[in-house]
Structure 1
Amino acid sequence: MSISCADLKGLRHFRQIRLVAGEKGLYRQISWPFICTTSTISQWLHGGELIFISGAGLDCGEESLLSLMRESVSKGLAGMVMLTGERYIPEIPPSLVELADASCFPLFEMPWDVKLIDVTQEISENIMYRKEQAKKGQRFLEQLLFSADDSRTFEELSGLFGIPQRAFRFIAVAEIQAGDPAAAALDTIKSDLSHTLK
């Protein structure tokens, strides 16, 4: 289970950061926070990162920032957080807001005096926690479905793996056949399905 841009508003250190554009892209999943210190990012990132732009060491002109956002969108990043203040980026240019909205690319504004280390650390810890929880869920399901040892009840197994017990349970199977055009986008489909069910 990963964290999406929509989940950021629930983090303590993200409270002073506001969404300024790209609301339709809040479903995007975040693989990791990345602090940008170069004018180009393609060679450094895999996709899915939440990029932080402080302006330090960068050309903060409108065209340069637009170019960086276009590259971020084409690389499949989760979103962008721009630190604004008097020193580097006084305000987010309207052209970036327009591009973010048109691309469904979340664009956040972060006051310069908010500690960047606190924000990125909280996001990283949340990602790692969710990954660990997802592993527990996967091990629980594997044990439940494939273990030859049937001496443990469902309740005992769920307690062992820290899976919350509910009064009701659902099982669903989603199958995509090889050769189906959707198979190429399988990871995105899994991510979107998981987020929708959540």
Structure 2
Amino acid sequence: MSLALEEILQLPGLHELSVRAGARSLHRRVRWPYVAENEGIAEWVMGGELVFVTGINHPRGEANLLSLIEDGAAVGIAGMVILTGDSFIQVIPPAVIARAEQLGLPLIEQPYALKMVVVTHLIGTALVQTSQARRSRNDILGQLLTGDYPSLAIARQRAAHLQLVLDEPRRLLALRLTGVDDVFEQHGLVVGERTWQATRQALEDQLEAWCRQHPGSVTAQLPGDLFVVLLTDTRDLHEALAALYRQLQAATGELQLYMGLSGLADDCAHYRQALNEARQALDVARHLRPANGYCNFSELGVLRLLQGIFDRTLIDDFVSRTLGPLLSPGRKHAHALVHTLDALLMENGNGFKAAQRLGLHRNTVNQRILRIEQLSGQSLDDPLFRMNASVALLIWRMSEDHGKE
């Protein structure tokens, strides 16, 4: 049961709440509201609370407010609301705002004229409604993803009632954190459990925030350690997922994150197959460790065979022997010959089309072809070399973050 702070601020009746600091962290999810009556809050909160500070039952000078900010950030509250007015806390001290901004803790100002009972009632009601809707959503998606539904027609009707659009082409992204055992072994059960749960929650929050920014995307919660996101198949999907991976990496700490993308599912009747595909792509990603963090099932092909090679050095050696002579470390266009070889293979050896793909003159491509054959000692007319080069390039693109030169 949770709502993002940015969702709470958009609730009807709460427009008078204003963000004073920590706007970059408004994706944090609120589990419940908590009114702070004691001098400190460290021993009274567990993380995820939206803490309200009134000053009614305890003086709240600058020093105390700074202490509350420090405690709140340390225990992981979602944010802090300070009530201001003539009677108790007249203004929020600039030092408190600056420290909250520095810590990335959302700090919200509420005028005393906006009654606390109204605010907490609106938030509490929204949390309950959100919880009910999310349970129903996860129930429907879980049934469709596992194929364990009594009636596809009823599942579709329930989805429509919850405004879930499921009968359009979608891809499925499966995500998994690895290294959990190492965290428990290194830190022990107590700290390990806290680290694991905090990382998991941070990942869920980031995914929910990402989905709100990408219309048509929706998370699905399944039992176990697998995270699932349904995606609209947009033109820039691959770039968006690479950016998502970089964003999520910042929240995983000691754990490693891998992702697998399914092929296109025409409608919700094919979600079970899509989940199976995403799992297979995820397994390959864990083995080959692509630079962009994920593997696409539609592009696996021979990679599924390479997954069976447990000694990664054999794969790296194959790529080095095949492409190594074409690399020019230290030069401005170190990968020019490799990119040219890639374009030629994509265009079935057609130099004219490869030149168009690269935005180069045909003579430049011809010169590079000669250079490729000289350095590699191979002919582009040799089908075995083309096959080896295609496989090596596929691994190379996954293993390194190479830009076009």
Give yes or no for TM over 0.5.
yes
Inter-partner Cα distance in structure 2 for 1:123 and 1:78? 14
1:129 match:
129
2:57 match:
57
AA matched with 1:194: E
Q: Is the 8 A contact 2:2 2:32 kept in 1?
A: no
Inter-partner Cα distance in structure 2 for 1:63 and 1:18? 22
Shift of 1:149: 5.5
Moved more, 101-110 or 3-12: 3-12
Moved more, 83-92 or 39-48: 39-48
Kindly provide the CA deviation profile for residues 12-55 of structure 1, in whole angstroms up to 9, marking residues without a partner as x: 22111111111111111111111111111122211110011111
Runs of 4+ aligned structure 1 residues displaced above 4 Å come to 147-150
* Residues 148 and 91 (structure 1), Cα distance of their counterparts in 2 relative to 1, 3 Å cut: closer
- Aligned-partner SS, 2:178: coil
Moved more, 87-96 or 157-166: 157-166
- Aligned-partner SS, 1:156: helix
Shift of 1:195: 2.0
Shift of 1:135: 0.7
1:190 match:
204
Higher relative contact order (CA 8 A, sep 6+): 1
Shift of 1:191: 2.1
Q: Is the 8 A contact 2:47 2:77 kept in 1?
A: yes
AA matched with 1:156: I
Kindly provide the CA deviation profile for residues 79-106 of structure 1, in whole angstroms up to 9, marking residues without a partner as x: 1111101111000000111011101111
Paired residue for 1:159, among 154, 157, 160? 157
Runs of 5+ in structure 2 lacking a partner?
184-194, 213-405
Moved more, 169-178 or 59-68: 169-178
Kindly provide the CA deviation profile for residues 121-160 of structure 1, in whole angstroms up to 9, marking residues without a partner as x: 111111111111111112112322345556x22x531313
Inter-partner Cα distance in structure 2 for 1:137 and 1:148? 15
Inter-partner Cα distance in structure 1 for 2:20 and 2:94? 10
Shift of 1:192: 1.2
Runs of 5+ in structure 1 lacking a partner?
none
AA matched with 1:137: R
Matches within 5 A, 1:1-198: 2-146=2-146, 152-153=151-152, 155-160=153-158, 162-163=161-162, 164-166=164-166, 167-179=168-180, 184=196, 185-198=199-212
Shift of 1:107: 0.8
Shift of 1:116: 0.7
Inter-partner Cα distance in structure 2 for 1:94 and 1:158? 52
- Aligned-partner SS, 1:100: helix
Inter-partner Cα distance in structure 1 for 2:38 and 2:6? 27
AA matched with 1:102: Q
Q: TM-score w.r.t. structure 2 length? A: 0.45
* Residues 171 and 43 (structure 1), Cα distance of their counterparts in 2 relative to 1, 3 Å cut: same
* Residues 149 and 91 (structure 1), Cα distance of their counterparts in 2 relative to 1, 3 Å cut: closer
- Aligned-partner SS, 1:171: strand
